[in-house]
């Protein structure tokens, strides 16, 4: 099996521990490293500053600070940040807003391994 992730470090952001676990499972199985996990946008921005991950998977709806605001804050810290939005069905408008804010791609829940890997492969190019 080819090692897709090649040790690239990912910050996983989701308020649901179960979703973080699912993503962590997909990513570690495919050679990615988990740089850190955050349960809200506020923590995501702090952790981004600390761990400087290669990419971020960002949930849209979270307490404290939503994903779109977090994208804007991270982009201020690092204009080159590679962020993939994770959305539930029916969040197209929010996804568009996130892309305008600087997110590079999006995946829809429930996560499909192929799609997650494809999105990360694309943004990490």
| pLDDT computed for residue 1 by the predictor | 43
pTM: 0.94
Q: Which domains, and CATH codes, for the chain?
A: 9-124 (3.40.50.2300)
Average pLDDT rounded to a whole number, residues 95-122 = 95
Span 78-107, pLDDT tens digits: 999 999 999 988 888 999 999 999 999 999
| pLDDT computed for residue 91 by the predictor | 85
Q: What percent of the chain has pLDDT over 70?
A: 97
Closest CA to 75 of 95, 96, 45: 45
Q: 124: buried, middle or exposed (CB in 10 Å: 19+, 13-18, 0-12)? A: middle
């Amino acid at each position: 099996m080819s090692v897709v992730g090649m040790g690239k470090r990912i910050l996983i952001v989701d308020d649901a521990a179960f979703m973080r676990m699912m993503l962590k499972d997909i990513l570690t199985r495919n050679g990615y490293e988990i740089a850190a996990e955050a349960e809200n946008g506020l923590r995501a921005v702090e952790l981004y500053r600390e761990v400087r991950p290669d990419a971020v998977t960002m949930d849209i709806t979270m307490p404290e600070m939503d994903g779109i605001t977090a994208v804007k804050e991270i982009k201020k810290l690092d204009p080159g940040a590679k962020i993939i939005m994770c959305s539930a069905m029916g969040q197209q408008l929010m996804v568009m807003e996130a892309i305008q804010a600087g997110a590079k791609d999006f995946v829809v829940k429930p996560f499909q391994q192929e799609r997650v890997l494809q999105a990360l492969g694309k943004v990490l190019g």
